[in-house]
Amino acid sequence: MVGSFPNTRDALNEVRFWVRILKEHSLFISLSLPCSRQDLIAEAQRFYELFQGLQNRVESKAGLDQRLVDEIRHAVEALIAFKHKLMRMLVTCELRGPLYPLLLDHITREAIHFLDFLNCRPCSDTLVAILKEQSFFLRIMKEHIEFIISLLDPSERELLAQAQASKEVFSDLLETARDLKSMARSRPEHFNRVIQFTETVTQRVTELRNFKATAHELAVLCRLLSAIPDPLLLDHVRREADKFLQELKDMRALLRRWECR
């Protein structure tokens, strides 16, 4: 059952963020498809134009009406279906090229995450919801590092060493978040460990965000050796880290209710 969409400033900002992200997903797909598949490239470009139009509309509005939300929802559902089609082609070797299956799965999960928001499907347990959201974004952050590692030139040894160390950190954070989420289902009256964990995550995401920002600046200045198709990709993942940091700030405020001093 799809709930009534909240017409709030926070909801508008959420929609603005994800519409732009999905627009850029369409661009990255088109850049990664083999030139022999002009049909798929054209389809990806149509999605780019569709989400560019939606972005223009949501950026010009002070609020969201249900009709626009429904249009966005249908566009997201169509893009998810397109991504699923590409995934089927990749895993059956019908499609070959530089489009990683995990990257495609990654951006599909992000689209589904946004669709769940549009469909107003919140978790009834706030503590579990917080840890579920942390698990989602920690996996996203970990995979960002893995993709960056795969695209950096082997001669970029210092950056690769930083990225490898960060990958280990985020792999551990993700496993801890999943463990804490499972424990939280017991509905504890207070859970100070989650507060401490969230502070640690905030620190680590801040470090990763700065790493991404530095890599983006180097790419723009042509001071980075890599197979990154467009510096926009690094700005894209930096903005997702900024988004996670904002959510962590909101989470810390909510978590105070589970703190026992």
CATH code, domain with 43: 1.20.1260.120
- Write out the H or E segment, with its range, that includes residue 253: helix 232-255
Ranges in the chain, pLDDT < 50: 1-3
Residue 60 and residue 178 share a domain: no
Tens of pLDDT, residue by residue over 115-169, are 999 998 666 788 999 999 999 999 999 999 999 999 999 999 999 999 999 999 9
The upper half-sphere exposure of residue 216, i.e. CA atoms within 13 Å in the direction of its Cβ, equals: 14
pLDDT confidence of residue 1:
31
Residue 169 and residue 99 share a domain: no
Residue 172 and residue 76 share a domain: no
Number of structural domains the chain divides into: 2
Identity of the residue numbered 105: D
Residue 86 and residue 131 share a domain: no
Identity of the residue numbered 132: K
Residue 257 and residue 140 share a domain: yes
Residue 261 and residue 144 share a domain: yes
pLDDT confidence of residue 2:
41
What letter would DSSP give residue 221?
T
Decide: 170 and 138 in contact? Cβ < 8 Å: yes
Residue 73 and residue 53 share a domain: yes
Q: Which range marks the domain in which residue 38 is found? A: 1-122
Residue 133 and residue 261 share a domain: yes
